[in-house]
């Protein structure tokens, strides 16, 4: 990565959102409104506030609505409080392959649009206080890890957690029966494209591939760092969680 190359961000927006039906029968989950704004809009504004304005969004289910939202609501000009203008590219998995490619498959497909280092975050989580900072990317770029993850305290629907966290900031691939504490992956992370070297460049055949096995293999080699984020975070996976968010206000 050259010093003047922009660090891009990829927002994952291709999922069907089965558990959110019937809401997602006509609206893609990232466009469901939370406190008057679509979920994905919260992400876009937070990234822009941090100076990250080159975005890639993957789509599948009702993907044309996602593109239409940014085209009509954001356009090419910055909105109040959002920072700079957005430059958005799309990876339309639904158009190209008839459906979503899972997380790693989707990222691999979008790699030609991304740089050597990039943010990845899911379009269906609500994390209003998270700050995407240039300092975080600089620290990551100066190191040699393949990924840096933000973990969160385990929510009620994932009490066993996903990954461990060592005192020196390494993400740990702990056994299922480990007595060591685990935390939940927030879906926010910084990545190097080398993490996806096991997949065909650009994923031209549209292979479906999950992300967790790639991360766990890299953790076993000490190539993933992590930190704990304790601000508000919600995986908006059910209508009940969406309703709860819309009945409360930010502090």
User: Which segments of the chain are extended strands (E)?
Assistant: 8-13, 33-34, 37-38, 54-59, 87-92, 117-122, 125-126, 147-152, 164-165, 171-172, 184-192, 224-228, 234-235
pTM of the model: 0.90
Q: Quick check: 20 and 239 in contact, CB under 8 A?
A: yes
Distance, in Å, from the CA atom of 101 to the CA atom of 189, rounded to the nearest integer, reads 19
**Residues of the chain above pLDDT 90, percent:** 65
Rg (the chain; Cα; Å): 17
Q: Quick check: 48 and 83 in contact, CB under 8 A?
A: yes
Output the average pLDDT for the chain. 89
> pLDDT digit string (tens) for 18-74?
787 887 788 889 999 998 889 999 999 999 999 998 999 999 988 888 888 887 545
End-to-end distance of the chain based on CA atoms, in angstroms? 38
Distance, in Å, from the CA atom of 178 to the CA atom of 36, rounded to the nearest integer, reads 42
């Amino acid at each position: 990565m050259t010093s003047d190359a922009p660090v891009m961000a990829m927002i994952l927006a291709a999922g069907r959102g089965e558990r959110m039906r019937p809401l997602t029968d006509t609206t893609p989950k990232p466009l469901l409104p939370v406190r008057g704004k679509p979920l994905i809009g919260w992400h876009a504004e937070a990234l822009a506030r941090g100076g990250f304005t080159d975005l890639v969004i993957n789509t599948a289910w009702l993907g044309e609505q996602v593109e239409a939202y940014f085209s009509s609501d954001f356009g090419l000009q910055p909105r109040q409080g959002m920072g700079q203008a957005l430059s958005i590219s799309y990876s339309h998995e639904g158009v190209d392959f008839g459906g979503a490619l899972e997380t790693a498959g989707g990222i691999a497909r979008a790699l030609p649009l991304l740089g050597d280092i990039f943010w990845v975050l899911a379009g269906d989580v609500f994390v209003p206080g998270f700050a995407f900072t240039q300092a975080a990317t600089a620290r990551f770029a100066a190191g040699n890890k393949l990924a840096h993850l933000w973990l969160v305290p385990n929510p009620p629907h994932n009490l066993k957690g996903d990954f461990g966290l060592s005192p020196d900031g390494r993400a740990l691939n702990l056994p299922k029966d480990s007595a060591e504490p685990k935390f939940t992956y927030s879906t926010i992370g910084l990545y190097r494209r080398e993490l996806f070297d096991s997949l065909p460049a650009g994923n031209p055949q549209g292979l479906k591939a999950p992300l967790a096995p790639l991360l766990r293999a890299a953790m076993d080699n000490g190539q993933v760092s992590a930190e704990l984020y304790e601000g508000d975070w919600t995986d908006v996976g059910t209508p009940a969680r969406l309703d709860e968010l819309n009945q409360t206000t930010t502090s």
